[in-house]
Amino acid sequence: MSTAPLFQRLALIGFGLIGGSIARAARAQGLAGEIVVTARSPATRARVQELGVVDRVVETSAEAVKDADLVILCIPVGACGPVAVEIAPHLKAGAIVSDVGSVKGMVVREMGPHLPDNVHFIPAHPVAGTEHSGPDSGFAELFINRWCILTPPPDTDPAAVEKLATFWRTIGANVEIMAAEHHDLVLAVTSHLPHLIAYTIVGTADELEDVTQAEVLKFSAGGFRDFTRIAASDPTMWRDIFLANKDAVLEMLGAFQEDLSKLTRAIRRGDGEALFDHFKRTRAIRRGIVDLGQETASPDFGRPLAPLPKKT
């Protein structure tokens, strides 16, 4: 017995890592009667057509949202406001309009005022990603066992929120609901600050005089390598995130700088006890993440191990 799809028509605006993953997962799960996609550049639209993972590729956002009952903007946060202006007159009454941006307060401020009252605006953020981008980078399994945070404004219809939550759960995500401002504070510490640290440290290593670049690369397994993965993330996306979440990031950066000063002082004074206590506490946090299933306990981060060299 076949059941009706959750949405008759799903419109995706933007087809990179996130848009491409949503499309593939929604298709695999039969969540939409039709998936319509648009992207900014003709090159991306042509590539989506070639990939054959959606039903229709159209040229404009206005065209894409026509008769769609779920519209998801999968574009950088800085582009959401202008796209909201473009699609507003073309949205179907009763449609759910959402996004996937990594910052929520700005998306609410910049999209909300342009959308008509007869649609349900439910911003969302799937906390899942890789350092890859573009139409070929998406995959259907990206959201499995990852969180998707919905930040509906206070007066949003609960049935619409539940319908969008069902969509995300069906493609593997765990759904959490919170206020947009709280989301931005939480993500500032769990995602934005770590990215800023990675961008800083990789830049610092690049500019050293006494240690050559070749040495940094050669001995990167000492810890540096894991920062380079994060620091390889998309420059446009991360520029937008820091501009969009300025206040929360600055607040967390202040706390971080205070803690860094404490550790600096402990090193300068040779205070091994302070360093040990701190590292013991942070190790427990890592174990907590593994216990929650958000990471594997394998020490190699999933990298395949080569066999030992043959004895000569």
Stretch of residues binding ligand NAP (CB under 6 A), selected from 10-18, 152-160, 212-220, 278-286: 10-18
Stretch of residues binding ligand NAP (CB under 6 A), selected from 12-20, 64-72, 280-288, 293-301: 12-20
Of the two residues 36 and 237, which places its CB atom closer to ligand NAP in the complex? 237
- The neighbouring-strand residues paired with 9 are 34
Tell me which residues in 132-171 interact with ligand NAP (CB under 6 A).
Answer: 133-134, 137
Of the two residues 120 and 192, which places its CB atom closer to ligand NAP in the complex? 192
Stretch of residues binding ligand NAP (CB under 6 A), selected from 33-41, 52-60, 209-217, 303-311: 33-41
- Strand segments, DSSP code E, in the chain are 7-13, 32-38, 56-57, 70-73, 96-99, 120-121, 124-127, 147-150, 174-177
Of the two residues 178 and 266, which places its CB atom closer to ligand NAP in the complex? 178
Q: Cβ distance 14 to 74 under 8 Å?
A: yes
> Exposure of 137 by Cβ count < 10 A (0-12 exposed, 13-18 middle, 19+ buried)?
middle
The structure tokens 């070749």 sit at: 214
77 is a site residue for ligand NAP (CB under 6 A): yes
* Measured distance CA(171)–CA(196) in Å, rounded: 30
Of the two residues 20 and 152, which places its CB atom closer to ligand NAP in the complex? 20
Query: What's the token pair of residue 120?
Result: 């349900």
Stretch of residues binding ligand NAP (CB under 6 A), selected from 63-71, 100-108, 157-165, 298-306: 100-108
76 is a site residue for ligand NAP (CB under 6 A): yes
Among 87, 123, 234, 248, the residue binding ligand NAP under the rule CB under 6 A is 234
Residue 129 Cβ, how far from ligand NAP at the closest point, in Å? 2
102 is a site residue for ligand NAP (CB under 6 A): yes
Of the two residues 94 and 235, which places its CB atom closer to ligand NAP in the complex? 235
Q: Which residues touch 98 (CB under 8 Å, ≥6 apart)? A: 70, 71, 72, 73, 121, 122, 123, 124, 164
172 is a site residue for ligand NAP (CB under 6 A): no
> Exposure of 266 by Cβ count < 10 A (0-12 exposed, 13-18 middle, 19+ buried)?
middle
Of the two residues 144 and 217, which places its CB atom closer to ligand NAP in the complex? 144
Q: Which residues touch 2 (CB under 8 Å, ≥6 apart)? A: none
Of the two residues 6 and 100, which places its CB atom closer to ligand NAP in the complex? 100
Q: How many residues bind ligand NAP (CB under 6 A)?
A: 26
Q: Cβ distance 81 to 51 under 8 Å?
A: no
Q: Cβ distance 84 to 75 under 8 Å?
A: no
18 is a site residue for ligand NAP (CB under 6 A): yes
- The neighbouring-strand residues paired with 32 are 7
End-to-end Cα distance, the chain? 64
Residue 244 Cβ, how far from ligand NAP at the closest point, in Å? 9
Binding site residues, ligand NAP, CB under 6 A:
14-19, 39-41, 44, 74-77, 79, 100-102, 125-126, 129, 133-134, 137, 234, 237
